[in-house]
Structure 1
Amino acid sequence: MGTTWVILIAVVALIAGVALGFFIARQYMMKYLKENPPINEQMLRMMMMQMGQKPSQKKINQMMNQMNKMSDKK
């Protein structure tokens, strides 16, 4: 009878730990993406204009493709 309770408590603790870990990781990722949004075409266009370049759609597409390739390698 004593080992059944130990196993039951261990299983409940494991399930609670997984659930708690999931919600903590989810909250952390939501906070991270809110503070550091992924770069999109509009942000890229603004950065290029701030650097004094006139961005064409072709150049923006090339830079987005290059950034996607770099993120795929990681």
Structure 2
Amino acid sequence: MLYAILGLIVGLIAGFFASRYFFKKQLQKNPPINEKMIRAMYMEMGRKPSEAQIKRIMASVKSQYK
């Protein structure tokens, strides 16, 4: 009985870290926002974004997932 409980606890901890790793990897590969979305948001606000602004926003988004 003790081995079953110990195995369950170890499995939960290992599963948590494995799922966290795969989730971060997936977010880095497929970010939830891209440059086209940033341009569209700026256009909705009535502004024309520069490439420097877009690159700065993309860098800040990518830094959040590391």
Alignment deviations for residues 20-64 of structure 1 (CA, whole Å, 9 cap, x no partner): 100110000000001011116x5411xx6xxxxxx62337xxxxx
Distance in 2 (CA, whole Å) between partners of 1:43 and 1:23 is 33
* Partner in structure 2 of residue 25 of structure 1: 19
Distance in 1 (CA, whole Å) between partners of 2:45 and 2:27 is 27
- Provide the aligned length of Structure 1 versus Structure 2: 45
* Partner in structure 2 of residue 51 of structure 1: none
Distance in 2 (CA, whole Å) between partners of 1:15 and 1:43 is 44
* Partner in structure 1 of residue 61 of structure 2: none
Identity of aligned residues (%): 39
Distance in 1 (CA, whole Å) between partners of 2:16 and 2:36 is 31
Higher RCO (CA 8 Å, separation ≥ 6 residues): 2
Structure 2: runs of 5 or more not aligned: 47-66
TM-score (normalised: structure 2): 0.56
Structure 1: runs of 5 or more not aligned: 1-6, 49-54, 60-74
TM-score (normalised: structure 1): 0.50
